Amino acid sequence: MTLEDLVRLRRARDLMDRDYAEPLDVPALARVALMSPGHFSRSFRAAFGESPYSYLMTRRIERAKALLRRGDLTVTEVCFAVGCTSLGSFSSRFTELVGESPSSYRARRHDAGAAIPACVAKVYTRPVRNGEAGSNSPLIV
């Protein structure tokens, strides 16, 4: 993979980070990276250790956790606020990555993490599917 490919892949990843609540699909992301959808998906996985869909859903779940901790939105409102269109799929993915349902997560207290700087908390609270990210993951510090 060339440096130019990595720059284009990062551009697409940055788009997912910034516009996570927008409807994004592989063909649209591949256009941003100036690649075919198949090549983009393979290259993204090789560069970042997970599929574009998995990366996007992880970003959405991270944002959902923050919104649920605030406690002023319902689970359904959070689901749609982070760009998911199906409450069932959102709840299933949230439970898979976080280990508890969105309702349970919203209902419990989150005071213990209040004193931790957001940049540190993000690293340690990043949702990760069982065994998906290994020690060589670029997202783990």
pLDDT value at 7 more than 80: yes
Provide the pLDDT confidence category of residue 115 given band limits of 50, 70 and 90: low
Which pLDDT belongs to residue 139? 40
Is the full-model pTM beyond 0.85? no
**pLDDT tens, position by position, 121-135:** 666 666 666 555 444
Q: Mean pLDDT over residues 51-69, rounded?
A: 94
What secondary structure does DSSP assign to 64-133, as a single string?
HHHHHHH-SS-HHHHHHHTT-S-HHHHHHHHHHHHSS-HHHHHHS--GGGTTS-HHHHHHHH----TTTS
